[in-house]
Amino acid sequence: MTFFKTFLLIIKLGRLKFPAIGFLLYSFGFLLGTVSGFDFSWSRFVLGFLTSFTANLSVSYSNDYFDVNLDQHGKPTSVSGGSGILIRHPELMELSKKLAEILMGISIIASIVSTVHFSLPLYFPVLVTLGNLLSWYYVAPPLKLAYRGLSELTVVVAVGLLMPGSGYLMAQKTLDLLFLIFILPSMLYSLAFIISVEIPDLESDRLGGKNTLIVRKGRRYGFALIGVLFTLSTLYFLALSVTNSVSVIDFRLITIISLIPLSIIILEFFQLKRREDTLEKCVEYILLAFSIFLVLLNCYLIILSHFNIS
């Protein structure tokens, strides 16, 4: 195999659409930390991005490595099921594992450098290390968290809490009330995210022994729960807009933006059929709507922080 072909396979193995969502979540946390008047710092943003992105990217390589036997029970999709590359090219397995380890190492080292250089709290590298360990042991032995019914909890903590939290800490150096207000919807959306990507993998996860919520409850339950989670998030933002808890942020606008993923899941739920290609499309639309929500939310925070700084 040529170097160029190997390089392309490694890039595909990284499944960059998932680290891209991670980037949006990290950016949300960082931008949220700037709305109180702290100047946007490119050096902080980039070093924090390195910390978050490498941790996120390592998941693609470690999951494909440790789930290679399970992935043989199904076929890859654009939203889940592994990349399928290690099944077709088992000679890349050790390289995939080594890349995951190197990326985790870079993430932890970058968090230590950030802590020293920017005088961040000493618990920042601890949280980054915790996030990396949760990502590694999501499917890696001996913990294999996803096989023990802890898939959703692991993702809620690693993606919904630690990912935006790392961005906020890079900007603010602390986790204050403003971040705490956004913890609940962040965790609700991250739970909806992991349920979405579990839906197409029901059969292969069941055959491989992975104990996910979808394996236990089924697809229709999963779609309904996503709808409930999106509804709760919208209602939460609506309540904040009524109480005006944080004067610096207009939660009315965020409530309107949150209607995008909510509308999509309502439409997809009532159009749901049991064909596999339809399931994949449904999940694609949900993830796209979630991504659009994050992009618009980040754009609003950019505008808001610009006016606050000005």
Predicted local confidence at residue 81, as pLDDT: 65
**How far is the C-alpha of 253 from the C-alpha of 148, rounded, in Å?**
39
DSSP character for 200?
A: G
Whether residue 276 is predicted with pLDDT greater than 70 in this model: the reply is no
What pLDDT is attached to residue 310?
Answer: 41
pLDDT digits (tens, 9 = 90+) for 13-27: 998 999 999 999 999
3-state secondary structure of 282: helix
| pLDDT at position 245 | 66
- Residue 8 within any structural domain of the chain: no
**241 pLDDT more than 50:** yes
Q: For 98-109, what is each residue's pLDDT tens digit?
A: 999 999 999 999
309 has a pLDDT exceeding 60: no
Residue 10 lies in a domain: no
Q: Count of domains in the chain?
A: 1
Q: Is residue 277 part of a domain?
A: yes
CATH value at residue 292: 1.10.600
Mean pLDDT, range 253-274, rounded to an integer = 86
Over 60: is that where the pLDDT of 136 sits?
Answer: yes
Reply yes or no: is the peptide bond before residue 90 cis, omega within 30 of 0. Answer: no
Q: Which residue's structure tokens are 């630690």?
A: 162
Mean pLDDT (whole number) for 142-171: 96
In a domain, 101, yes or no: yes
pLDDT of residue 75: 75
Instruction: Give residues with Cβ within 8 angstroms of 237, minimum separation 6.
Output: 185, 251, 254, 255, 258
Rounded to an integer, the average pLDDT of 238-254 is 87
What was the pLDDT predicted at 273? 56
Domain that holds residue 294: 16-309
Does residue 123 or residue 74 have the better pLDDT?
A: 123
Whether 2 maps to a domain, the answer reads: no
Answer whether residue 7 is part of any domain.
no
Task: Work out the number of other CB atoms within 10 angstroms of the CB of residue 78.
Answer: 13
Q: Which residue has the higher pLDDT, 269 or 140?
A: 140
Alpha carbon distance 225, 63 (integer Å): 25
The residues, any chain, with a CB within 8 Å of residue 7's CB and separated by 6 or more, are: none
Q: Let me know if residue 238 belongs to a domain.
A: yes
Which of 154, 156, 194, 152 has the alpha carbon at shortest distance from 286?
A: 194
Q: What's the pLDDT band for 47 if we cut at 50, 70, 90?
A: very high
Distance, CA of 269 to CA of 58 (rounded, Å): 33
Query: What is the pLDDT at residue 280?
Result: 80
CA distance 278 to 129: 38
Q: What is the mean pLDDT of residues 141-162?
A: 96
Domain annotation covers residue 5: no
Instruction: Kindly report, residue by residue over 182-230, the tens digit of the pLDDT.
Output: 999 999 999 999 999 999 899 989 999 999 999 999 998 999 999 999 9
